Structure 1
Protein backbone atom coordinates (compact mmCIF):
# COMPACT_ATOMS: atom_id res chain seq x y z
CA UNK A 1 0.00 0.00 0.00
CA UNK A 2 1.24 3.49 -0.87
CA UNK A 3 2.02 5.44 2.29
CA UNK A 4 0.71 8.90 3.05
CA UNK A 5 3.70 10.95 4.27
CA UNK A 6 1.86 13.95 5.68
CA UNK A 7 3.79 15.46 8.59
CA UNK A 8 7.10 13.94 7.41
CA UNK A 9 10.11 15.60 5.82
CA UNK A 10 10.68 15.16 2.12
CA UNK A 11 13.45 12.69 1.24
CA UNK A 12 17.01 14.02 1.30
CA UNK A 13 17.99 13.66 -2.35
CA UNK A 14 20.36 15.30 -4.83
CA UNK A 15 18.97 15.75 -8.35
CA UNK A 16 21.21 15.88 -11.41
CA UNK A 17 19.91 18.55 -13.75
CA UNK A 18 21.06 20.68 -16.67
CA UNK A 19 21.00 24.47 -16.44
CA UNK A 20 21.95 26.51 -19.51
CA UNK A 21 23.76 23.53 -20.99
CA UNK A 22 25.77 22.71 -17.87
CA UNK A 23 25.35 19.95 -15.30
CA UNK A 24 24.09 21.17 -11.94
CA UNK A 25 23.28 19.26 -8.75
CA UNK A 26 20.28 20.50 -6.78
CA UNK A 27 19.38 19.22 -3.32
CA UNK A 28 15.98 18.94 -1.68
CA UNK A 29 17.28 21.42 0.89
CA UNK A 30 17.74 24.03 -1.86
CA UNK A 31 14.37 23.27 -3.39
CA UNK A 32 12.14 23.29 -0.30
CA UNK A 33 13.88 25.23 2.48
CA UNK A 34 11.89 28.28 3.58
CA UNK A 35 9.35 27.89 0.78
CA UNK A 36 5.81 26.68 0.28
CA UNK A 37 5.95 24.35 -2.69
CA UNK A 38 3.43 22.32 -4.66
CA UNK A 39 4.97 19.20 -6.18
CA UNK A 40 3.06 16.86 -8.46
CA UNK A 41 4.55 13.59 -9.66
CA UNK A 42 3.54 11.57 -12.68
CA UNK A 43 4.54 8.40 -14.55
CA UNK A 44 6.37 9.91 -17.49
CA UNK A 45 7.11 12.85 -19.75
CA UNK A 46 5.33 12.86 -23.12
CA UNK A 47 2.74 10.33 -21.91
CA UNK A 48 -0.93 11.08 -22.73
CA UNK A 49 -2.61 12.15 -19.45
CA UNK A 50 0.55 13.85 -18.23
CA UNK A 51 0.88 15.89 -21.43
CA UNK A 52 -2.74 16.75 -22.16
CA UNK A 53 -4.11 17.39 -18.68
CA UNK A 54 -1.93 16.99 -15.60
CA UNK A 55 0.97 19.35 -16.35
CA UNK A 56 -0.92 21.84 -18.60
CA UNK A 57 -3.56 22.55 -15.95
CA UNK A 58 -0.93 23.15 -13.26
CA UNK A 59 0.82 25.49 -15.68
CA UNK A 60 -2.47 27.30 -16.30
CA UNK A 61 -3.30 27.64 -12.60
CA UNK A 62 0.26 28.52 -11.53
CA UNK A 63 -0.38 32.30 -11.31
CA UNK A 64 -3.46 31.67 -9.16
CA UNK A 65 -1.60 29.23 -6.91
CA UNK A 66 1.26 31.69 -6.51
CA UNK A 67 -1.20 34.46 -5.66
CA UNK A 68 -2.39 32.16 -2.87
CA UNK A 69 0.96 31.71 -1.19
CA UNK A 70 2.77 29.11 -3.28
CA UNK A 71 6.40 29.97 -4.02
CA UNK A 72 7.12 27.28 -6.63
CA UNK A 73 5.39 24.54 -8.60
CA UNK A 74 7.38 21.41 -9.41
CA UNK A 75 6.61 18.54 -11.75
CA UNK A 76 8.60 15.40 -10.91
CA UNK A 77 9.01 12.29 -13.02
CA UNK A 78 11.42 9.37 -13.21
CA UNK A 79 12.95 10.65 -16.44
CA UNK A 80 16.37 12.09 -17.23
CA UNK A 81 16.97 15.82 -17.37
CA UNK A 82 17.19 15.93 -21.19
CA UNK A 83 13.73 14.37 -21.55
CA UNK A 84 12.21 16.65 -18.93
CA UNK A 85 13.74 19.75 -20.53
CA UNK A 86 12.45 18.78 -23.99
CA UNK A 87 8.99 18.03 -22.61
CA UNK A 88 8.79 21.39 -20.84
CA UNK A 89 9.68 23.20 -24.05
CA UNK A 90 7.20 21.14 -26.07
CA UNK A 91 4.36 22.10 -23.70
CA UNK A 92 5.60 25.66 -23.15
CA UNK A 93 5.35 25.02 -19.40
CA UNK A 94 7.11 28.22 -18.34
CA UNK A 95 5.35 28.36 -14.96
CA UNK A 96 6.53 24.93 -13.82
CA UNK A 97 9.93 23.65 -12.65
CA UNK A 98 10.45 20.22 -14.22
CA UNK A 99 12.49 18.05 -11.86
CA UNK A 100 14.16 14.87 -13.19
CA UNK A 101 14.20 12.03 -10.68
CA UNK A 102 16.27 9.99 -13.11
CA UNK A 103 17.38 7.32 -10.64
CA UNK A 104 14.06 7.23 -8.82
CA UNK A 105 15.66 8.07 -5.47
CA UNK A 106 13.11 10.71 -4.48
CA UNK A 107 10.17 8.57 -5.59
CA UNK A 108 11.57 5.60 -3.65
CA UNK A 109 12.05 7.78 -0.57
CA UNK A 110 8.43 8.87 -0.84
CA UNK A 111 7.32 5.25 -1.13
CA UNK A 112 5.92 6.07 -4.56
CA UNK A 113 8.29 4.13 -6.85
CA UNK A 114 6.22 1.50 -8.63
CA UNK A 115 6.88 -1.21 -11.19
CA UNK A 116 5.51 -0.53 -14.67
CA UNK A 117 7.46 -3.21 -16.50
CA UNK A 118 4.27 -4.41 -18.18
CA UNK A 119 4.31 -1.14 -20.14
CA UNK A 120 8.05 -1.26 -20.79
CA UNK A 121 8.57 1.68 -18.44
CA UNK A 122 10.51 -0.06 -15.70
CA UNK A 123 10.36 1.75 -12.34
CA UNK A 124 8.28 4.93 -12.35
CA UNK A 125 6.56 7.27 -9.91
CA UNK A 126 2.97 6.72 -8.90
CA UNK A 127 0.81 9.74 -9.67
CA UNK A 128 0.32 12.07 -6.70
CA UNK A 129 0.55 15.70 -5.60
CA UNK A 130 1.61 17.30 -2.35
CA UNK A 131 1.89 20.62 -0.58
CA UNK A 132 5.28 21.05 1.14
CA UNK A 133 5.94 23.78 3.69
CA UNK A 134 9.64 24.36 4.51
CA UNK A 135 10.46 20.74 3.69
CA UNK A 136 7.54 19.25 5.67
CA UNK A 137 4.74 17.54 3.77
CA UNK A 138 1.55 19.35 4.71
CA UNK A 139 -0.92 17.56 2.42
CA UNK A 140 -0.86 14.70 -0.09
CA UNK A 141 -3.31 13.68 -2.77
CA UNK A 142 -2.45 10.12 -3.85
CA UNK A 143 -4.21 8.46 -6.74
CA UNK A 144 -6.15 5.31 -5.78
CA UNK A 145 -4.34 2.01 -6.15
CA UNK A 146 -6.15 0.41 -9.04
CA UNK A 147 -5.33 -0.83 -12.52
CA UNK A 148 -4.29 1.55 -15.25
CA UNK A 149 -3.30 5.14 -14.62
CA UNK A 150 -5.94 6.70 -12.35
CA UNK A 151 -6.14 10.48 -12.40
CA UNK A 152 -8.75 11.57 -9.90
CA UNK A 153 -7.24 13.61 -7.04
CA UNK A 154 -3.74 14.84 -7.92
CA UNK A 155 -4.96 17.50 -10.37
CA UNK A 156 -4.31 21.23 -10.06
CA UNK A 157 -7.93 22.15 -9.30
CA UNK A 158 -8.06 19.80 -6.31
CA UNK A 159 -4.85 21.31 -4.95
CA UNK A 160 -6.08 24.87 -5.42
CA UNK A 161 -9.41 24.02 -3.79
CA UNK A 162 -7.50 22.69 -0.76
CA UNK A 163 -5.28 25.78 -0.51
CA UNK A 164 -8.12 28.27 -1.04
CA UNK A 165 -11.61 26.95 -1.90
CA UNK A 166 -12.79 30.48 -2.75
CA UNK A 167 -9.92 31.32 -5.14
CA UNK A 168 -11.09 32.66 -8.49
CA UNK A 169 -9.86 30.43 -11.28
CA UNK A 170 -8.81 31.89 -14.64
CA UNK A 171 -11.21 31.84 -17.54
CA UNK A 172 -10.75 29.16 -20.19
CA UNK A 173 -10.04 30.97 -23.45
CA UNK A 174 -9.32 29.32 -26.81
CA UNK A 175 -8.59 31.21 -30.01
CA UNK A 176 -8.64 29.56 -33.43
CA UNK A 177 -6.27 31.45 -35.71
CA UNK A 178 -4.36 31.21 -38.97
CA UNK A 179 -0.87 32.55 -39.78
CA UNK A 180 -0.78 36.13 -41.03
CA UNK A 181 -4.37 36.91 -40.05
CA UNK A 182 -4.63 40.60 -38.95
CA UNK A 183 -7.99 40.05 -37.25
CA UNK A 184 -6.46 37.19 -35.25
CA UNK A 185 -3.71 39.53 -34.10
CA UNK A 186 -6.31 42.11 -33.10
CA UNK A 187 -8.30 39.55 -31.11
CA UNK A 188 -5.19 38.32 -29.29
CA UNK A 189 -4.11 41.86 -28.46
CA UNK A 190 -7.56 42.63 -27.11
CA UNK A 191 -7.55 39.52 -24.91
CA UNK A 192 -4.09 40.39 -23.60
CA UNK A 193 -5.15 43.97 -22.85
CA UNK A 194 -8.01 42.60 -20.74
CA UNK A 195 -5.63 40.34 -18.81
CA UNK A 196 -6.76 37.07 -20.39
CA UNK A 197 -4.39 34.23 -21.09
CA UNK A 198 -5.47 31.98 -23.94
CA UNK A 199 -4.79 28.78 -25.82
CA UNK A 200 -4.08 29.40 -29.49
CA UNK A 201 -5.06 26.74 -31.99
CA UNK A 202 -3.56 27.55 -35.39
CA UNK A 203 -4.81 26.22 -38.70
CA UNK A 204 -2.23 24.00 -40.35
CA UNK A 205 -0.86 23.05 -36.92
CA UNK A 206 -1.21 19.45 -35.72
CA UNK A 207 -3.53 18.64 -38.59
CA UNK A 208 -6.19 21.30 -37.91
CA UNK A 209 -7.85 22.21 -41.22
CA UNK A 210 -10.57 24.58 -42.40
CA UNK A 211 -12.91 21.57 -42.38
CA UNK A 212 -12.05 21.00 -38.72
CA UNK A 213 -12.56 24.70 -37.95
CA UNK A 214 -15.99 24.64 -39.58
CA UNK A 215 -16.95 21.42 -37.81
CA UNK A 216 -16.00 22.82 -34.40
CA UNK A 217 -17.13 26.44 -34.69
CA UNK A 218 -19.70 26.34 -37.47
CA UNK A 219 -17.72 29.02 -39.30
CA UNK A 220 -14.93 29.03 -41.85
CA UNK A 221 -13.18 32.26 -40.87
CA UNK A 222 -10.61 33.23 -38.25
CA UNK A 223 -10.31 34.16 -35.52
CA UNK A 224 -12.93 32.22 -33.58
CA UNK A 225 -12.84 32.88 -29.84
CA UNK A 226 -14.29 30.76 -27.04
CA UNK A 227 -14.48 31.92 -23.40
CA UNK A 228 -15.43 29.31 -20.79
CA UNK A 229 -16.93 27.13 -23.50
CA UNK A 230 -19.07 29.93 -24.96
CA UNK A 231 -18.52 30.76 -28.62
CA UNK A 232 -17.86 34.51 -28.84
CA UNK A 233 -16.95 34.69 -32.54
CA UNK A 234 -14.47 36.88 -34.40
CA UNK A 235 -12.53 40.00 -33.43
CA UNK A 236 -15.49 42.38 -33.90
CA UNK A 237 -17.73 40.15 -31.82
CA UNK A 238 -15.04 39.91 -29.14
CA UNK A 239 -14.92 43.72 -28.95
CA UNK A 240 -18.72 43.81 -28.59
CA UNK A 241 -18.54 41.13 -25.89
CA UNK A 242 -16.13 43.19 -23.79
CA UNK A 243 -18.20 46.35 -24.25
CA UNK A 244 -21.21 44.55 -22.78
CA UNK A 245 -19.23 43.05 -19.89
Structure 2
Protein backbone atom coordinates (compact mmCIF):
# COMPACT_ATOMS: atom_id res chain seq x y z
CA UNK A 1 0.00 0.00 0.00
CA UNK A 2 1.42 3.39 -1.01
CA UNK A 3 1.14 5.64 2.03
CA UNK A 4 0.20 9.30 1.90
CA UNK A 5 2.72 11.10 4.14
CA UNK A 6 1.16 14.55 4.33
CA UNK A 7 2.16 16.30 7.55
CA UNK A 8 5.40 14.31 7.85
CA UNK A 9 8.97 15.43 7.19
CA UNK A 10 10.81 14.25 4.11
CA UNK A 11 13.42 11.51 4.69
CA UNK A 12 16.88 12.59 5.82
CA UNK A 13 19.05 11.54 2.87
CA UNK A 14 22.39 12.58 1.37
CA UNK A 15 22.54 12.37 -2.42
CA UNK A 16 25.78 11.95 -4.41
CA UNK A 17 25.37 14.27 -7.40
CA UNK A 18 27.52 15.75 -10.15
CA UNK A 19 28.15 19.46 -10.67
CA UNK A 20 30.23 19.95 -13.79
CA UNK A 21 32.92 17.29 -13.57
CA UNK A 22 32.93 17.09 -9.79
CA UNK A 23 31.13 14.89 -7.29
CA UNK A 24 29.06 16.95 -4.84
CA UNK A 25 26.87 15.69 -2.00
CA UNK A 26 23.50 17.33 -1.42
CA UNK A 27 21.34 16.79 1.65
CA UNK A 28 17.59 16.96 1.99
CA UNK A 29 18.10 19.79 4.46
CA UNK A 30 19.86 21.83 1.79
CA UNK A 31 17.10 21.08 -0.69
CA UNK A 32 14.06 21.73 1.51
CA UNK A 33 14.87 23.74 4.63
CA UNK A 34 13.22 27.17 4.65
CA UNK A 35 11.88 26.68 1.11
CA UNK A 36 8.67 25.89 -0.72
CA UNK A 37 9.51 23.02 -3.06
CA UNK A 38 7.66 20.84 -5.52
CA UNK A 39 9.11 17.37 -5.97
CA UNK A 40 7.81 15.00 -8.60
CA UNK A 41 9.12 11.46 -8.83
CA UNK A 42 8.97 9.12 -11.78
CA UNK A 43 10.08 5.61 -12.77
CA UNK A 44 12.98 6.51 -15.03
CA UNK A 45 14.78 9.03 -17.20
CA UNK A 46 14.11 8.80 -20.94
CA UNK A 47 10.98 6.68 -20.44
CA UNK A 48 7.99 7.63 -22.64
CA UNK A 49 5.50 9.33 -20.29
CA UNK A 50 8.28 10.94 -18.26
CA UNK A 51 9.87 12.46 -21.38
CA UNK A 52 6.77 13.39 -23.33
CA UNK A 53 4.58 14.82 -20.58
CA UNK A 54 5.62 14.66 -16.94
CA UNK A 55 8.95 16.52 -17.02
CA UNK A 56 8.18 18.89 -19.94
CA UNK A 57 5.00 20.28 -18.41
CA UNK A 58 6.64 21.01 -15.05
CA UNK A 59 9.45 22.74 -16.93
CA UNK A 60 6.91 24.72 -18.97
CA UNK A 61 4.93 25.84 -15.92
CA UNK A 62 7.98 26.62 -13.76
CA UNK A 63 7.64 30.43 -14.18
CA UNK A 64 4.00 30.19 -13.06
CA UNK A 65 4.97 28.15 -10.00
CA UNK A 66 7.65 30.71 -9.19
CA UNK A 67 5.05 33.50 -9.24
CA UNK A 68 3.02 31.40 -6.81
CA UNK A 69 5.88 31.29 -4.30
CA UNK A 70 7.57 28.00 -5.23
CA UNK A 71 11.33 28.26 -4.78
CA UNK A 72 12.36 25.17 -6.74
CA UNK A 73 11.02 22.18 -8.65
CA UNK A 74 12.79 18.86 -8.24
CA UNK A 75 12.55 15.85 -10.52
CA UNK A 76 13.58 12.66 -8.73
CA UNK A 77 14.25 9.26 -10.22
CA UNK A 78 16.18 6.16 -9.20
CA UNK A 79 18.87 6.80 -11.81
CA UNK A 80 22.53 7.76 -11.58
CA UNK A 81 23.70 11.41 -11.82
CA UNK A 82 25.12 10.98 -15.34
CA UNK A 83 21.82 9.72 -16.74
CA UNK A 84 19.81 12.47 -15.01
CA UNK A 85 22.16 15.17 -16.26
CA UNK A 86 22.06 13.87 -19.84
CA UNK A 87 18.27 13.63 -19.74
CA UNK A 88 17.96 17.22 -18.47
CA UNK A 89 20.08 18.40 -21.39
CA UNK A 90 18.09 16.34 -23.86
CA UNK A 91 14.84 17.84 -22.51
CA UNK A 92 16.22 21.41 -22.23
CA UNK A 93 14.82 21.30 -18.68
CA UNK A 94 16.62 24.38 -17.39
CA UNK A 95 13.85 25.16 -14.88
CA UNK A 96 14.05 21.79 -13.12
CA UNK A 97 16.54 20.54 -10.52
CA UNK A 98 17.34 16.93 -11.37
CA UNK A 99 17.84 14.75 -8.30
CA UNK A 100 19.39 11.29 -8.81
CA UNK A 101 18.21 8.90 -6.11
CA UNK A 102 20.62 6.28 -7.41
CA UNK A 103 20.49 4.08 -4.31
CA UNK A 104 16.75 4.50 -3.88
CA UNK A 105 17.19 5.73 -0.29
CA UNK A 106 14.84 8.69 -0.56
CA UNK A 107 12.23 6.66 -2.44
CA UNK A 108 12.45 3.89 0.16
CA UNK A 109 12.13 6.44 2.98
CA UNK A 110 9.01 7.81 1.30
CA UNK A 111 7.56 4.30 1.00
CA UNK A 112 7.58 4.74 -2.78
CA UNK A 113 10.31 2.27 -3.81
CA UNK A 114 8.65 -0.43 -5.90
CA UNK A 115 9.72 -3.50 -7.88
CA UNK A 116 9.86 -3.14 -11.64
CA UNK A 117 11.62 -6.45 -12.28
CA UNK A 118 9.07 -7.46 -14.88
CA UNK A 119 10.38 -4.60 -17.03
CA UNK A 120 14.03 -5.22 -16.20
CA UNK A 121 14.18 -1.98 -14.19
CA UNK A 122 14.84 -3.46 -10.75
CA UNK A 123 13.67 -1.16 -7.96
CA UNK A 124 12.32 2.24 -9.02
CA UNK A 125 10.26 5.08 -7.60
CA UNK A 126 6.49 5.02 -7.91
CA UNK A 127 5.15 8.06 -9.74
CA UNK A 128 3.97 10.85 -7.42
CA UNK A 129 4.30 14.57 -6.71
CA UNK A 130 4.33 16.57 -3.52
CA UNK A 131 4.43 20.12 -2.21
CA UNK A 132 6.96 20.49 0.60
CA UNK A 133 7.27 23.52 2.86
CA UNK A 134 10.33 23.81 5.09
CA UNK A 135 10.86 20.06 4.87
CA UNK A 136 7.27 19.13 5.77
CA UNK A 137 5.00 17.52 3.19
CA UNK A 138 1.87 19.63 2.78
CA UNK A 139 0.28 17.79 -0.14
CA UNK A 140 0.90 14.54 -2.02
CA UNK A 141 -0.55 13.34 -5.30
CA UNK A 142 0.14 9.61 -5.57
CA UNK A 143 -0.72 7.65 -8.68
CA UNK A 144 -3.21 4.83 -8.09
CA UNK A 145 -1.73 1.49 -7.04
CA UNK A 146 -2.64 -0.43 -10.17
CA UNK A 147 -0.57 -2.43 -12.67
CA UNK A 148 1.47 -0.51 -15.21
CA UNK A 149 2.52 3.11 -15.00
CA UNK A 150 -0.57 5.24 -14.28
CA UNK A 151 -0.29 8.97 -14.85
CA UNK A 152 -3.44 10.65 -13.61
CA UNK A 153 -2.74 12.97 -10.65
CA UNK A 154 0.99 13.74 -10.33
CA UNK A 155 1.06 16.09 -13.32
CA UNK A 156 2.01 19.76 -13.19
CA UNK A 157 -1.49 21.07 -13.89
CA UNK A 158 -2.99 19.15 -10.96
CA UNK A 159 -0.31 20.57 -8.66
CA UNK A 160 -0.86 24.11 -9.94
CA UNK A 161 -4.61 23.73 -9.52
CA UNK A 162 -4.01 22.80 -5.86
CA UNK A 163 -1.71 25.79 -5.26
CA UNK A 164 -3.90 28.30 -7.12
CA UNK A 165 -6.74 27.22 -9.36
CA UNK A 166 -6.94 30.78 -10.72
CA UNK A 167 -3.29 31.00 -11.77
CA UNK A 168 -2.80 32.39 -15.26
CA UNK A 169 -1.33 29.78 -17.58
CA UNK A 170 1.23 30.68 -20.24
CA UNK A 171 0.05 30.40 -23.81
CA UNK A 172 1.34 27.40 -25.70
CA UNK A 173 3.22 28.65 -28.75
CA UNK A 174 4.61 26.48 -31.54
CA UNK A 175 6.62 27.73 -34.51
CA UNK A 176 7.35 25.84 -37.70
CA UNK A 177 10.60 27.29 -39.05
CA UNK A 178 13.59 26.58 -41.27
CA UNK A 179 17.27 27.54 -40.91
CA UNK A 180 18.31 30.94 -42.26
CA UNK A 181 14.77 32.31 -42.39
CA UNK A 182 14.76 36.05 -41.45
CA UNK A 183 10.98 36.08 -40.95
CA UNK A 184 11.34 33.18 -38.49
CA UNK A 185 13.93 35.19 -36.58
CA UNK A 186 11.57 38.17 -36.56
CA UNK A 187 8.74 36.07 -35.17
CA UNK A 188 10.95 34.62 -32.44
CA UNK A 189 12.14 38.12 -31.54
CA UNK A 190 8.54 39.35 -31.16
CA UNK A 191 7.66 36.37 -28.96
CA UNK A 192 10.72 36.85 -26.75
CA UNK A 193 9.98 40.56 -26.37
CA UNK A 194 6.46 39.67 -25.23
CA UNK A 195 7.71 37.06 -22.76
CA UNK A 196 6.07 34.20 -24.64
CA UNK A 197 8.15 30.99 -24.54
CA UNK A 198 7.79 28.89 -27.65
CA UNK A 199 8.45 25.45 -29.06
CA UNK A 200 10.33 25.47 -32.36
CA UNK A 201 9.85 22.71 -34.93
CA UNK A 202 12.46 23.06 -37.64
CA UNK A 203 12.09 21.73 -41.17
CA UNK A 204 14.80 19.21 -41.98
CA UNK A 205 15.07 17.91 -38.41
CA UNK A 206 13.50 14.81 -36.87
CA UNK A 207 11.73 13.93 -40.09
CA UNK A 208 9.88 17.25 -40.42
CA UNK A 209 9.58 18.11 -44.13
CA UNK A 210 7.91 20.62 -46.44
CA UNK A 211 5.05 18.13 -46.73
CA UNK A 212 4.71 18.18 -42.94
CA UNK A 213 4.50 21.97 -43.02
CA UNK A 214 1.71 21.95 -45.61
CA UNK A 215 -0.16 19.12 -43.89
CA UNK A 216 -0.11 20.90 -40.53
CA UNK A 217 -0.65 24.52 -41.55
CA UNK A 218 -2.09 24.39 -45.06
CA UNK A 219 0.63 26.81 -46.15
CA UNK A 220 4.01 26.42 -47.80
CA UNK A 221 5.91 29.30 -46.20
CA UNK A 222 7.63 29.72 -42.85
CA UNK A 223 7.26 30.62 -40.14
CA UNK A 224 3.86 29.17 -39.32
CA UNK A 225 2.78 29.99 -35.78
CA UNK A 226 0.22 28.31 -33.55
CA UNK A 227 -0.92 29.77 -30.22
CA UNK A 228 -3.00 27.60 -27.90
CA UNK A 229 -3.85 25.40 -30.88
CA UNK A 230 -5.02 28.32 -33.03
CA UNK A 231 -3.22 28.81 -36.36
CA UNK A 232 -2.09 32.45 -36.30
CA UNK A 233 -0.06 32.40 -39.53
CA UNK A 234 3.28 34.00 -40.39
CA UNK A 235 5.41 36.73 -38.84
CA UNK A 236 3.16 39.57 -40.06
CA UNK A 237 0.10 37.74 -38.75
CA UNK A 238 1.84 37.35 -35.40
CA UNK A 239 2.46 41.10 -35.23
CA UNK A 240 -1.25 41.76 -35.82
CA UNK A 241 -2.18 39.12 -33.21
CA UNK A 242 0.12 40.69 -30.62
CA UNK A 243 -1.22 44.18 -31.36
CA UNK A 244 -4.82 42.99 -30.89
CA UNK A 245 -3.90 41.18 -27.65
CA UNK A 246 -2.05 44.14 -26.13
Shared fold by TM > 0.5?
A: yes
In structure 2, the residue matched to 1:18 is 18
Cα distance in 1 for partners of 2:220, 2:127 equals: 41
Q: CA deviation at 1:91?
A: 0.5
Cα distance in 2 for partners of 1:241, 1:36 equals: 37
1:134 equivalenced with 2:134 (yes/no): yes
Q: CA deviation at 1:243?
A: 2.1
Q: CA deviation at 1:136?
A: 0.4
Q: CA deviation at 1:115?
A: 0.5
In structure 1, the residue matched to 2:173 is 173
In structure 2, the residue matched to 1:223 is 223
In structure 1, the residue matched to 2:237 is 237
In structure 2, the residue matched to 1:37 is 37
Moved more, 30-39 or 210-219: 210-219
Aligned length: 245
In structure 2, the residue matched to 1:55 is 55
Structure 1 unaligned blocks of 5 or more: none
Q: Deviations over 1:72-116 (max 9, x none)?
A: 000000000000000000000000000000010000000000111
Q: CA deviation at 1:151?
A: 0.5
**RMSD of aligned Cα (Å):** 0.7
In structure 2, the residue matched to 1:105 is 105
Cα distance in 1 for partners of 2:90, 2:220 equals: 28
Cα distance in 2 for partners of 1:23, 1:237 equals: 50
Over 4 Å off, 4+ runs: none
Q: Deviations over 1:193-217 (max 9, x none)?
A: 1111111111111111111111111
Cα distance in 1 for partners of 2:100, 2:134 equals: 21
SS of the residue 1:141 aligns to: strand
Q: CA deviation at 1:244?
A: 2.1
Structure 2 unaligned blocks of 5 or more: none
SS of the residue 2:66 aligns to: helix
In structure 2, the residue matched to 1:28 is 28
